[in-house]
Amino acid sequence: MVKAVVAAEPGAPPRVCEIEPPPVGPGDVRVRVAAAGVCHSDLSMINGTLAPRFPLVLGHEAAGTVAEVGEDVTKVRPGDRVVLNWAAACGECWFCGQDEPWLCSAVEGAVSPPSGATLDGEELYACMGVGGFAEELVMPERAVVPLPASAPLDLGALLGCAVLTGIGAVRNTARVREGQSVLVIGLGGIGLSAVMGARLAGAGNVIAVDRGTEKEALARAAGATHYLEGDPKLAKQVRALTGGRGADHAFECVGKADLIRTAWQSVRRGGQCTVVGVGARDDAVTFNALELFHFNRRLTSSVYGSSDPDRDVPPLAAEIEAGRLDLSTLVTHRIGLDGVAAAFDRMRAGQGVRSLIEIAP
């Protein structure tokens, strides 16, 4: 038996329970979880934005140490440190064949597959196929990514979602070039990671935007050159900082129609607006036909930062080792498994950035 954070039903507060993990199959890996980040997608599982099955083991952004491997596993061995990959591609579908594993058909829509674990004999479901708010879990070999010994294991958890998504949106989806101007709206873990990605790319002006002034210091520490509070006149303010043209790139990291619209209006003619935040299906964004033609802007989304974790985690770990990427900037609270409900409260209030659950040394 191991402890895990379980949501019994939609809207129910998460609670720490003892669960029975599944046995390790031939192609499986048992991981002793060291740390897990509390992501907004975890909150979306219980607040109605997404529609998972219950009872649900929460958490999908995590890292830990391999405790046991199945007989067919060759990728890792006991004692190895790993990042967990919630979007573990099948390697066989059409999208995987196009080198787009982040769009894998086997992953699409899989918000709560059965975990194999049980609670008092009742089957449990795993948040995004991981269920990372647990002392131990069992996952397929393809869902673990080796983490170099040089990278801190606790902060390595953030590579499993926020950092891959934010930096990946800048590096892989938008392909920001040196000297270009970048706007980032929404400074949670993903948004601040996008700011870090812009800095790593050598962007010129990096304009960070959030409600109030609480996150200004965090944004500047992550690499922002300017900080603006959310305002109806934001597009005009951005143009004033970018030679009157607008930003070359904008990243909307919240998932709100009005903010997507603002990001779009803040981009120059011929620039690109990338939607990174996950929004609601009934929150519509509208454009008129003339503006779509006239401004020649590109509007796209970035799913998981267009990332292949097996490809992208090692170079990010190298950036950490070289001192160019400081993930401690993202962590504003360190908690135990029993602190998840309070972390969700802070998230609803827009307070802090990442709550990091410390589970095992």
Cα 135 to Cα 133: distance, rounded to the nearest angstrom:
7
Cα 65 to Cα 19: distance, rounded to the nearest angstrom:
19
Please tell me if the domain spanning 2-160+326-358 has the same topology as the one spanning 166-302.
Answer: no
* Helix (H) or strand (E) segment spanning residue 216: helix 216-222
Provide the pLDDT for residue 350: 85
Pairing assessment for the beta strands 226-229 and 247-252 based on DSSP bridges: unpaired
Provide the pLDDT for residue 72: 98
| pTM for the structure as a whole | 0.95
Q: Where are the domains of the chain?
A: 2-160+326-358, 166-302
For the CA atoms of the chain, what is the radius of gyration?
Answer: 20
Q: Determine contact, residues 53/68, Cβ cutoff 8 Å.
A: no
Provide the pLDDT for residue 84: 97
Provide the pLDDT for residue 351: 87
Provide the pLDDT for residue 146: 96
State which CATH number among 3.90.79.10, 3.90.180.10, 3.40.50.150, 3.30.2010.10 fits the domain covering 2-160+326-358. 3.90.180.10
User: Could you list the pLDDT tens digit for every one of the 361 residues in the chain?
Assistant: 999 999 999 988 999 999 999 999 999 999 999 999 999 999 999 988 888 999 999 999 999 999 999 999 999 999 999 999 999 999 999 999 999 999 999 998 789 999 998 988 899 999 999 999 999 999 999 999 999 988 999 999 999 999 999 999 999 999 999 999 999 999 999 999 999 999 999 999 999 999 989 999 999 999 999 999 998 999 999 999 999 999 999 999 999 999 999 999 999 999 999 999 988 889 999 999 999 999 999 999 999 999 999 999 999 999 999 999 999 999 999 999 999 999 999 999 888 899 999 998 7
Cα 99 to Cα 37: distance, rounded to the nearest angstrom:
28
CATH superfamily placement of domain 166-302: NAD(P)-binding Rossmann-like Domain (3.40.50.720)
User: Which of 112, 118, 113, 91 shows the shortest CA–CA distance to 102?
Assistant: 91
Beta-carbon contacts of 229 under 8 Å, excluding residues fewer than 6 positions away, are 209, 210, 211, 212, 213
